[in-house]
Amino acid sequence: MSFRFEEELRQSFLESASPSLWSQPTPTLRVMTKLESDCSEGRADWVWAGTACDWPSDLVHQSADLLRQPTCSRILGLLKPRAPRRESYLQDRVGVAGRTFRRWLLELIEAGLAAELGMGRYTLGPHFSVPEIEICSFEFKLENWKRAFYQAKRYRVFSHRVFVVMPPEAGARVNGALDQFEKFNVGLLTHDVDGTSQRVLPSRKRQPISRAGFIRALGMLVG
């Protein structure tokens, strides 16, 4: 007996796999998940996020839409809590037209996510609160590990860890390429039809490649 569809593999994994396979769960862990989440480049089959703190209510109720807006997430990714950034610096790196840039910058200021200090200088605002959070993303495949590996690598933009999940017989065929998985910090998990899972290769916790991508993912998770 084997999985017929990737959806069957994913559903079985979600129902029976322990978070200890991919993270270090604690009794106080708060978890949020998303299926088919386009947090950034590519569409992750499943995104799991855990934090030991309460999810910030301001982000949930007021600011999630702004966090996942691409121009806003890029602006916020460039701003610092105390070191001011000049408007010209921000606009050059965000890469949108001046009118679009100023529109979204004003939206961020009104929401308290950005703050204007005068003379064209800006910092993060008083309502920009990011919990100590870990984001793990998963790609499920029955056979094509090369495709799964390629897609999982893209999720490093916004994730602390990324994993490919495959049936054991398909996972065994990856053995000759585990050095590539390790090089790009892509973990490999296997999951069988009887509900058992195994960690073949861990994914070490690393900061997401893009701070803007991480902020956008946070907005999608809490929105």
Residues with Cβ within 8 Å of 164's Cβ and at least 6 positions away in sequence, in order, are 138, 139, 140, 141, 145, 148, 149, 152, 174, 181, 186, 187, 188, 189
**Residue 117 scores a pLDDT above 80:** yes
Cα separation, 126 vs 138, whole angstroms: 33
pTM, rounded to two decimals: 0.89
CA 125, 127, 129, 135 dihedral sign is: negative
* Res. 57 pLDDT band, cuts 50 70 90: low
Arithmetic mean of pLDDT, 156-161: 95
* Res. 63 pLDDT band, cuts 50 70 90: confident
pLDDT digits (tens, 9 = 90+) for 194-209: 999 999 999 999 999 9
**Residue 59 scores a pLDDT above 70:** no
CATH code that applies to domain 6-53+132-201: 3.40.50
Percent of the chain residues topping a pLDDT of 70: 93
Q: Per-domain residue ranges for the chain?
A: 6-53+132-201, 57-130
When the pLDDT of each residue in the chain is averaged and rounded to a whole number, the result is 91
Class of 57-130 in CATH = mainly alpha
Residues with Cβ within 8 Å of 183's Cβ and at least 6 positions away in sequence, in order, are none
